[in-house]
Structure 1
Amino acid sequence: MRIDGRKYDQIRPIKITRNYTKYAEGSVLIETGDTRVICTASIEDKVPPFLKGKGEGWITCEYNMLPRATQVRKIRDITRGKVDGRTMEIQRLIGRALRSVVDLKAIGEKTIWVDCDVIQADGGTRTASISGAFVSLVDAVNVLHKRSPFKIYPIRDFVSAISVGIVNDIRMLDLCYLEDSRAKVDMNVVMTDSDEIVEIQGTGEQSPFTKEDLKELMGLAEKGIKNMINAQKNSLKMDSLWIGTGGE
């Protein structure tokens, strides 16, 4: 049994609350165990300079951890005067994950900003952010679809993420903070509902790991991501019917 009583191949309880804030086109509170992230998606009727005139949209992300999301207060980026490397890495990862399942040309010249704010952290904040951000993105895209139906519905597939690792020589799924801090191998996996891999971030923290370890960890990740995507589907219900249809 693990620190929180789960089996090695069991994810933490998931709760996704939509329409969590009043003003954003899409807003979600995602809870995975004691990790909680607010994800909001906002529509802007312009694109970055490098996309102007190309008839193509953009999806980008900003990620932030509130000062007391962790046991020790984290100094705000604005106080330090710069975004730290970890934050930059995570927000780029979230943006890549979302863009991987969206037809950006179908959106037109609009930018969808996705903000992920961690209000409580207990491991897996980047993976929870991706899973929650996707739901908020669907809600924002559906707002556009209701205003003016797309000829081609932009979202091609579900995408989600989960962490896996090796702790005390045991391969585990969905690591909490204490497990993550002790992990010999730490890995984050992003995949679609079609079992396609978007990104794998894996590190032997203490020593190299074997191909067999990688195979077993990927098997655990696939199982966890299926559970996360089922939670996304249960949250979205009828609002996810357009996904993967192209609007036909």
Structure 2
Amino acid sequence: MQDFTQRRPEGRALDQLRPITLTRDVMKNAHGSCLAEFGDTRVMCTATIEETLPAWRKASRKGWLTAEYAMLPASTSSRTKREYKGRKGRSMEIERLIGRSLRAVCDLDHLGEFTITVDCDVLQADGGTRTASITGGWVALHDALMNFVEQGKIKRLPLTGQVAAISMGVVAGTPMLDLDYPEDSHADVDLNLVGTADGGIVEIQGTGERSTLSRVQLNELLDMGEAGIRRLCDLQNEVTGFTA
């Protein structure tokens, strides 16, 4: 087992994010797209808007936003099987998380009768694929909506703010931010935080993998996570120029 002490193997501080890049406009046919890179984790996020609604949603005359998530076969060290007819439980849980997170900052009442699908495909997995999906998914969503505003299909941008996500954990008794795969696989406690640019919390996911979590440790992890969310939202803002 690696020696997880005051600094990580790559020299990163305990509360330091991995090198993160959000690259826009990487898919020609998507209304919005973003390649989210969190260290060696790479997720292709695309947003597509369709002028239709699910049957159960039509009576409301409100828009809808949903998400899909999948890991490509060579995204992990051993080949991941493709998902065809059936959805894996993990993938379903993650795509529901992505959808909830993005809907938290989307004004569906003013979207119009459109359905937005945010697809998150993991090209390479090294920890934090769901958090990268949410962070990059917001950029893809923003650009898709701006595309429709510029075309006159939507009167104004129906976003109420920014949302991003980050992982945290306790590894060998040490709280850390933005875990890569070796850290995540050795974590005593695993935590994911989804939050907004104004400090709101959308969702907290936490599990005691090998030990319990004290309230003091939880507070420390959340402080780390909130600082990480702020930095991610700053990066989103840099690439999109978004203002609420």
TM over 0.5: yes
Show CA shifts across 1:4-56 (max 9, x none): 22010000011111000111000111111000000000010011111113220
Q: Helix, strand or coil: the match of 1:68?
A: helix
Matched, 1:92 2:96: yes
- Partner of residue 3, structure 1: 9
> Which one of 49, 52, 56 corresponds to residue 46 of structure 1?
52
Equivalent residue runs for 1:12-27 within 5 Å: 12-27=18-33
Q: Helix, strand or coil: the match of 1:112?
A: strand
* Aligned-residue CA RMSD (Å): 1.1
**Cα shift at 1:150:** 4.3
Matched AA of 1:15: T
Q: Helix, strand or coil: the match of 2:73?
A: coil
> Which one of 137, 141, 144 corresponds to residue 137 of structure 1?
141
Matched, 1:107 2:116: no
Matched, 1:76 2:107: no
**How far apart are the structure 1 equivalents of 2:180 and 2:223?**
19
Contiguous gaps of at least 5 residues in structure 2: 1-6
TM-score normalised by length of structure 1: 0.94
Equivalent residue runs for 1:1-248 within 5 Å: 1-78=7-84, 81-148=85-152, 150-151=154-155, 153-237=157-241, 240-241=242-243, 244=244
How many residue pairs get matched? 238
**How far apart are the structure 1 equivalents of 2:106 and 2:189?**
31
**How far apart are the structure 2 equivalents of 1:109 and 1:53?**
10
Per mean C-alpha deviation after superposition, the further-off stretch among 150-159 and 62-71 is 150-159
**Cα shift at 1:3:** 2.5
Does structure 1 retain, via aligned residues, the 8 Å contact 2:146–2:157? no
**How far apart are the structure 1 equivalents of 2:184 and 2:62?**
39
Structure 1 stretches of 4+ with a deviation exceeding 4 A read 149-152
Q: Helix, strand or coil: the match of 2:142?
A: helix
Does structure 1 retain, via aligned residues, the 8 Å contact 2:15–2:176? yes
Matched AA of 1:34: D
**How far apart are the structure 2 equivalents of 1:169 and 1:54?**
50
Contiguous gaps of at least 5 residues in structure 1: none
Show CA shifts across 1:129-165 (max 9, x none): 0000000000011011112274553100100000000
**How far apart are the structure 2 equivalents of 1:180 and 1:71?**
15
**How far apart are the structure 2 equivalents of 1:85 and 1:36?**
21
Question: Would the alpha carbon gap of residues 151 and 44 (structure 1) be closer, same or farther in structure 2, given more than 3 Å must change?
Answer: closer
Matched AA of 2:93: E
**Cα shift at 1:208:** 1.3
**How far apart are the structure 2 equivalents of 1:188 and 1:85?**
18
Identity of aligned residues (%): 50
**How far apart are the structure 1 equivalents of 2:26 and 2:91?**
23
Does structure 1 retain, via aligned residues, the 8 Å contact 2:168–2:175? yes
